[in-house]
Copies of this chain bind each other. A is one copy, B any other.
Amino acid sequence: MKVSVIGLGRAGLPLAAVVADSGFEVVGVDLDERKCEMINRGINPIPEEAGLDELIKKHAGKNLIATPRYEDAADCNVFVVIVPLVVDENYNPDFRILEDAFRNVGGILKRGDLVALETTVPPMTTEIMAKGWLEEESGLKLGDFYLAYSPERIMTGYSISRLKEFPKVVGGVNKESGIKAFETYKKFIPNLHLVSSARVAEFIKLIEGCYRDVNIALANELFKIASELNIDFYEAREYANHEYCHIHLPSTGVGGHCIPVYPWFLIKEMEKKGKFSHIELLRTARKLNDEMINYWAEKIVLECMKINKPLNKVKICIKGITFRKGVKELYHSRNFALAKLLVEKGLNTFVYDEMLGREEVEKLGLKWIKPNEADVVFDTFELKTQVLRR
Residues in A lying within 8 Å of B, measured CB to CB: 123-124, 166-167, 169, 193, 195-197, 199-200, 203-205, 207-208, 210-212, 214-215, 217-218, 221-222, 224-226, 228-232, 235-237, 239-240, 242, 244-247, 266, 269-270, 273, 275, 277-282, 284-285, 287-288, 291
Partner of A211, one of B240, B270, B273: B240
Query: Which B residues touch A229, using CB under 8 A?
Result: 123-124, 199, 203, 269
> Do residues A218 and B228 form an inter-chain contact, with CB atoms below 8 A?
no
Residues of B within 8 A of A246 (CB): 211, 246
Say how far A170's CB is from chain B's closest CB, in angstroms.
10
- When all copies of this chain in the complex are counted, the total is 2
Residues of B within 8 A of A210 (CB): 218, 222
List of B residues within 8 angstroms of A218 by Cβ: 210-211, 214, 281
In the bound assembly, the distance between CA atoms of A207 and B229 in angstroms comes to 13
Is A281 a contact partner of B281 (Cβ separation < 8 A)? yes
CA distance A281 to B200 in the complex (A): 27
CB < 8 Å neighbour of A232 from B200, B242, B266, B277: B200
Residues in B with CB closer than 8 Å to A214 are: 214-215, 218, 281
The docked-state distance in angstroms from the alpha carbon of A4 to that of B217 is 42
B240 touching A204 by the CB < 8 A rule?
Answer: yes
Cα A228 to Cα B268 with chains together (Å): 13
Task: Choose among A217, A278, A281 the residue with the greatest number of B CB atoms under 10 Å from its CB.
Answer: A281
Output the least CB separation between A261 and chain B (Å): 16
